[in-house]
Amino acid sequence: MIQDITPRIYHNEYKDLQPKDNDFILVFHENKVLVRYQGEKLRYPTLAELREYPCTYHYLFSIDNFQYFLASPFSFAPNFEEPLPPVTLCGYSYEDIRIFRTANSRHTAFAGITAHHLFGWYQANRFCGRCGHHMQPDHKERMLFCPKCRNMVYPRISPAVIVGVTKGDYILMSKYAGRTYTNYALIAGFSEIGESAEQTVAREVMEEVGLKVKNIRYYKSQPWSFSDTLLFGFFAKNGFRPGFSLREAAAQPAPAPAAEVSPGTAIMSSPTEHTQVIASSLSRVRAPEAAAAEPIFTTGKNPEP
């Protein structure tokens, strides 16, 4: 899972600090991050490399003894309305943040996507949503406040669920129609106002594939900063409607295409390599009270990052 960076330790407590020359600086331009490759590993610029670039810096977190800061393209000063042009550094280039899904250096990837979560929050809250005044960063906690109406805004974290619906040795996979993300994925979606995570599971499965589930049980959670989400994983049993069939996940791929079962959703009839990995994990997670299983979270949650 993306947050599993052991033996390194992630410290997210807020500190009112300014960067030093050897601290890492995360620079984003929309959904791209400024990086270079050192061998096969990602590397972020340091403050020493960005000294000539005028920018506002926000402390993010530390991993072990390494501190990470965000270079903000906007100032929070009232007379600074326009973003600065993208930073250009020799040897560095802007890469899509999706590289964090497969980067070899897991702690570096986790730092990058978590930083992008906060980058989006700072960008979206330059002005007060209540009175329109310029927001100011607090110096005691990670919060933005309005000096005019005293409105306070904290980082947005949206609760969502992802569920493995099982029946015997079978697991339900879906594929969203009309999306750029084309892989098969588990059923997933955001929680709505006034419902529990378990109620979200039942509703999302019904909405996406028209099936009822039972024996809903919690598995584990993970932060998923690609969509500003805290994702709660569940398993649920049965629920397949009469006449519904799924090919065994470990079987060889069949030529039949995915069958559409509801608007925007398809059910797997020809499994992929990714599905076979999930099927092999299934035998180890039938009894959640047993030894911890390999995580089965996928990157295809709804909505797509």
Give the pLDDT score at 171: 87
pLDDT of 202 > 60? The answer is yes
Split at pLDDT 50, 70, 90, the class of 281 is very low
Split at pLDDT 50, 70, 90, the class of 291 is very low
Split at pLDDT 50, 70, 90, the class of 84 is low
DSSP class per residue in the chain:
-TT--TTS-EE---------TTSEEEEEETTEEEEEEETTEEEPPBGGGGTTS--EEEEEEEETTEEEEEEESS-SSTT--SPPPPP--TT-EEEEGGGGGT-S-HHHHHHHHHHHHHHHHHHHTSB-TTT-PBPEE-SSSS-EE-TTT--EE----EEEEEEEEEETTEE--EEETT-S--S-B-EEEEPPTT--HHHHHHHHHHHHH----EEEEEEEEEEEGGGTEEEEEEEEE--PPTT-----TTSPPPSSPPEEEETTEEE-SS--HHHHHHHHHHTTSSSTTSSPPPP---S--SS--
pLDDT of 272 > 60? The answer is no
Determine the Cα–Cα distance for residues 254 and 261; give it in Å rounded to an integer: 18
Q: What tens digit of pLDDT does each residue of 205-231 get? A: 999 888 889 999 999 999 999 999 999
Share of the chain above pLDDT 90, in %: 56
Q: Which residue has the higher pLDDT, 63 or 40?
A: 63
- Candidate from 2-16, 59-73, 152-166, 234-248 with smallest mean pLDDT: 234-248
Give the pLDDT score at 111: 97
Instruction: Kindly list the structural domains of the chain, giving each domain's residue range(s) and its CATH number in brackets, ordered by start.
Output: 10-124 (3.90.79), 158-282 (3.90.79.10)
Q: What tens digit of pLDDT does each residue of 121-176 get? A: 999 999 999 999 999 999 999 999 999 999 999 999 999 999 999 888 888 888 87
pLDDT of 305 > 90? The answer is no
Give the pLDDT score at 74: 59
Give the pLDDT score at 296: 32
Strand partners, 93: 35
Give the pLDDT score at 78: 47
Q: What is the mean pLDDT of residues 260-282?
A: 36
Q: What tens digit of pLDDT does each residue of 4-35 get? A: 999 999 999 999 999 999 999 999 998 999 99
